[in-house]
A and B are shown apart, each in its own frame.
Chain A
Amino acid sequence: MLKEITLGQYFPGNSVLHKMDPRMKIIMLTAFIVFIFCTKNFYSLALMFLAVICVIMFSGVSMRLYLKSLKAIIYIVLFTSILNLFYGTGKPIWSFWRLSVTQEGINTAIFVSARIIAMVLVSSSLTYTTTPTDLTDGIERLLKPLSVFKIQVHEIAMMMTIALRFIPTLLEETDKIMSAQKARGADFESGNFFSRIKALIPILIPLFVSAFRRAYELAMAMESRCYHGGDGRTRMKVLKYSKYDLAAVLVSCAVFIGVIVCNIYFPKTLRIGM
């Protein structure tokens, strides 16, 4: 059950996206998300969607895995789009009790769900093609300027690396503890809400205990290898921009210009500025 989570997982490969510098990928991801939310009509939205699909094709990871990552957010998409369906103003197309659906509501619903889906897809393309270590390396380098304000960038990045590293370990541990308690007759599937919450205690307590134990052991191991934070620490792999990064920037900029042009030349679909 827990093994089916693909959000935030790395899949090894040799694609263009895999070869890009993590810093550039993070910057591009941010830019993509900004532009996804800047689309003002269906033309620019379609253009952005097309760009996202191209990114997926270039990632060399199968479409099925992307669809799997969408499965995790399907309820959020449904919830927001249904909510938006009834929030439009104008002439109602269909109404029931106090609720009414308008053309504007339909447009907003489509827009909002398309934006969320595009955002999740493009974010997945980053985590699917970047190892957690590369990702945190990239974040660390990008946040470096903040150390002027006495923010401990290296420590933050290290915490993220460790957290990501231990997700699968803890998932595995949860699975094991669940089996062990099930073998003692624990029942997670039946009963009302409160008895189900209570049934989680025999899992959560051992899980916390083992997380603390692991944290303690890891701290010991790091200390005995003389880890002392980021000061004066050199890297084995120094990040370098390559021709792929340049190409990505150029292509993306062209897409972004396209979006702006579409926004200006075609009428706005959305009245509200979201």
Chain B
Amino acid sequence: MSLLEVKNVSFTYGAGTAFAKKAVDGVSLNIEKGDFIGIIGHTGSGKSTLIQTLNGLIKPDEGEIILDGKNIWSEPKKIRKVRFKVGMVFQYPEYQLFEETAEKDIAYGPKNMGLSDDEISERVKSAAKFVGLKPELLKKSPFELSGGEKRRVAIAGVIAMEPDILILDEPCAGLDPNGRDVLLAQIKAYHRQKENTVLLVSHSMEDISRIADKILVMNKSKVFAFDSTRSVFEKGEELEKIGLQIPQVTKILLELKRRGYPVSTDIYSVEKAAEEIMKLKPKRSQLLKEG
């Protein structure tokens, strides 16, 4: 049994009006425990809507979302429980901070879960550690922190609920390159330590290819591809056809292959690509023989 099953889910914005737009169209997916899934697609491809159906912020018009073998809408009154299990970090989450101190803001989610004070402070500490927030910052007002620190506080606020599934919508948007590398590494470390499930939405193929094990490609409200990172990039050319940028190294290998060099194209890290290209070089012994 999968941890989360998405069965034929559809959702239309503004149904029944002239502005009706089908944002998610018949999507089916199985998400297993321990998956690290990267979600990619153009603006308006339905990825944000899809992830909001997963924790019950949007109720799909058709289809069902099954979490731990139970339809999340079978008891609408208990939808809050689903939101604690499926944690969601929105885009630019720093705009949702409101408490007097960073610590209290991180504690907002756990408090809503009804945990004891000891448990809450324990969770706040460990969540802050995961996102690399220094303890002295926790006593400060969130509005005094820098942009990057604010974002960490907001992410920690969701991590502190210790969700089984963590969804992040463009967590790196607006961060400098160094900040994004650090944040992605922290998310990856969190995933490894907790052995839970992470879904990460991003525009950057490069970021996703680096940390995700599986990739979900959304195109025009539908699932275009959902497979391991390696197999998705094997279809590099198809991805380019729908206008998605593939990692630059993959592009180089695709071009080499097109020109008749025997290279594999399911490579997306610079190191592996270098190895692959080096293989093309005639062996030293061969050179000697010919020379």
Contacts and interface: CB of A to CB of B under 8 A. Distances in A.
Interface string B45-61: 00000001001010000
Contact of B113 (A3, A185, A205): A185
Interface stretch (B34-42, B80-88, B210-218, B272-280): B80-88
Interface string A178-214: 0111111111000000000000011001100110000
Contact of B83 (A3, A177, A182): A182
User: What does DSSP make chain B's interface, helix, strand, loop or mixed?
Assistant: helix
B97 interface: yes
B143 A183 contact: no
B143 A209 contact: yes
B112 A187 contact: yes
A206 B112 contact: no
Q: Which of B84, B93, B95, B97 has the most CB of A within 10 A?
A: B95
Contacts of B269: none
B83 A183 contact: yes
Contact of A177 (B88, B96, B112, B143): B96
A161 B162 CA distance: 45
A144 interface: no
A177 B109 contact: no
A176 interface: yes
Contact of B98 (A176, A182, A185, A206): A206
B96 A182 contact: no
Nearest to B111: A185
B9 to A, nearest CB: 18
B157 interface: yes
A183 B113 CA distance: 12
B96 A181 contact: yes
Interface in B85-137: 87-88, 90, 93, 95-98, 108-109, 112-113
B95 A186 contact: no
B43 to A, nearest CB: 16
Interface bracket on A: 10 to 19
Contacts of B161: 184-185
B4 interface: no
Contacts of A179: 52, 57, 90
A177 B157 contact: no
User: What does DSSP make chain A's interface, helix, strand, loop or mixed?
Assistant: helix
Contacts of A184: 83, 96, 108-109, 112, 157-158, 161
A272 B77 CA distance: 52
Contacts of B108: 184-185, 202
B98 A202 contact: yes
A207 to B, nearest CB: 9
A163 to B, nearest CB: 21
Contacts of A182: 57, 83
Contacts of A185: 80, 83-84, 108-109, 112-113, 161
Given A179-B52, A202-B108, A187 B80 contact: yes
A183 B95 contact: no
Q: Which of A3, A184, A201, A209 has the most CB of B within 10 A?
A: A184
A4 to B, nearest CB: 10
Nearest to B80: A185
Contacts of A202: 96, 98, 108
Nearest to A202: B98
Interface of A: 3, 173, 176-177, 179-187, 201-202, 205-206, 209-210
13 contacts: A177-B96, A179-B52, A179-B57, A182-B83, A183-B87, A183-B88, A184-B157, A184-B158, A185-B109, A185-B113, A205-B98, A206-B96, A209-B143
Interface of B: 14, 52, 55, 57, 80, 83-84, 87-88, 90, 93, 95-98, 108-109, 112-113, 143, 157-158, 161
